[in-house]
């Protein structure tokens, strides 16, 4: 049996946890499940509790980037994901890196302003 060194790694996330990750309402995630056929979280129990895996969270990240960050309509985002998922994924990665770099630069600017 392999030792799991990453103690924070979870197999399943609740809809509430995923909604908090992306600062969304749970109803938005449910709506996206209807609109994007590739987004199908596992359901369990008689209450059909949603259990999101890493692959689902990655799909939500792409949808979030297209709809909330870049401002695409649902139909346009669905078309992009079905026709050019690799391109959409790459652009989302680049955008994430740029946002991280901007945050770091803003922190450095604050430190420099404090020194002056």
Parallel, antiparallel, or unpaired: how do β-strands 42-44 and 49-51 relate? Answer: antiparallel
Does residue 78 contact residue 35 with C-beta atoms inside 8 Å?
yes
pLDDT > 70 in the chain, percent = 84
pLDDT tens, position by position, 24-72: 999 999 999 999 988 888 887 777 788 899 889 988 988 998 899 889 9
Helix spans in 39-84 (H):
54-64, 74-83
Closest to 18 measured CA to CA, from 55, 47, 60: 60
Element (H, E) at 30: helix 26-35
Helix (H, G, I), strand (E, B) or coil at 52: strand
Mean of pLDDT over the chain: 83
């Amino acid at each position: 049996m392999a030792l799991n060194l990453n103690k924070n790694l979870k197999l399943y996330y609740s809809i509430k946890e995923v909604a908090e990750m992306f600062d969304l309402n749970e109803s938005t995630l449910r709506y996206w499940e209807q609109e994007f056929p590739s987004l199908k979280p596992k359901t369990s129990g008689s209450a059909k509790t949603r259990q999101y895996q890493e692959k689902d969270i990655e799909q939500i990240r792409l949808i979030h980037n297209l709809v909330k960050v870049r401002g695409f309509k649902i139909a346009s985002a669905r078309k992009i994901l079905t026709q050019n998922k690799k391109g959409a994924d790459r652009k989302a990665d680049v955008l994430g890196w740029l946002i991280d770099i901007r945050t770091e630069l803003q922190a450095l600017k604050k430190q420099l302003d404090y020194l002056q």
